[in-house]
Structure 1
Amino acid sequence: MPYRETKIEKLYYSIGEVAEMFSVNTSHIRYWEKEFDIIKPKKNKKGNRFFTKADIDNFHLIYHLVKERGMTLNGAKLKLKENKEDTQNNFDVVSRLKDIKNLLLEMKEMI
């Protein structure tokens, strides 16, 4: 049986890693953390922030509303307070459709 490496998923991400995921500055991440109540990173004694997978998912949602849909921060806050579940479902559908589009484009390139 061939050796297969198991994929290890991290439990915590540093602020630098999160900023790199979204191609923004670390100050941007700190600002969103201050503005949105749904982002609650763990902090160690030195004050370093460690973000969980749930925080990353919330960042994806906020990024989608603010950067991709062009909402203001106040508009995004209201949207998340009013109906976060519906917003999350819409985001999931959009991301799945993007994945399908990319798959179809790859298939088209192969033909």
Structure 2
Amino acid sequence: MEKTLPPIPAKRYFTIGEVGDLCGVKPHVLRYWEQEFTQLRPMKRRGNRRYYQHHEVLMIRRIRDLLYDQGFTISGARNKMQELLQVERDKKRSGEVQLDGMEVLEIHDSEMDGFDEPGDVPDEEMAVMELHAIKKELLDIRELLMATA
């Protein structure tokens, strides 16, 4: 049942019909999957209309792959999705940064040595250094907030 799915357009929100077309499933299947996969929570607006974001479309495609292409049961796919999400959480906690859902960069302090002047660093490495600095600031903020709680 290998079917090529269309590319996901650069939009912020997708209707249930658009997601159905992008993922090759009918809207009633998407509503059922919402009940079975707790990670799948589209935003609901007036009249209970569902609006999905890009990451939810990717999640639906992953669920579809597990069920239709890999032959998982609903229960097995649910367990696999929880396992995959836990792996992603662990990667984030361990200092890995995920870009565009594909490439994973791991940032270590030792990689930051020797870069004193911004002109010495290529653009990609500068971006990694900026991400590292932002991560450090956020961790410091989290530590301050936890200390006051």
Displacement after TM superposition at 1:61 (Å): 1.0
2:27 maps to what in 1? 26
Gaps of 5+ in 2: 1-8, 89-101, 103-149
Bigger relative contact order, structure 1 or 2, given CA contacts below 8 A and separation 6+? 1
2:76 maps to what in 1? 75
Q: What percentage of aligned pairs have identical amino acids?
A: 30
Displacement after TM superposition at 1:21 (Å): 1.4
Displacement after TM superposition at 1:39 (Å): 0.8
Matched, 1:37 2:32: no
Measured in 1, the distance between the counterparts of 2:20 and 2:84 equals 26
Measured in 2, the distance between the counterparts of 1:65 and 1:19 equals 16
The TM-score normalised by the length of structure 2 is 0.50
Query: How many residue pairs were aligned?
Result: 80
* 8 Å Cα contact 2:23-2:57 kept in structure 1: no
Helix, strand or coil at the partner of 1:70: coil
Measured in 2, the distance between the counterparts of 1:57 and 1:23 equals 12
Displacement after TM superposition at 1:23 (Å): 2.3
Structure richer in strand, relative to its length: 2
**RMSD, aligned α-carbons:** 1.7
Distance 1:24 1:82, change over 3 A: closer
Matched, 1:59 2:56: no
Summarize deviations over 1:38-64 as a string: whole Å, max 9, x none.
111011121100000011011111111
Measured in 2, the distance between the counterparts of 1:54 and 1:71 equals 21
Displacement after TM superposition at 1:16 (Å): 0.3
Gaps of 5+ in 1: 1-7, 87-91, 93-111
Displacement after TM superposition at 1:9 (Å): 1.6
Matched, 1:15 2:11: no
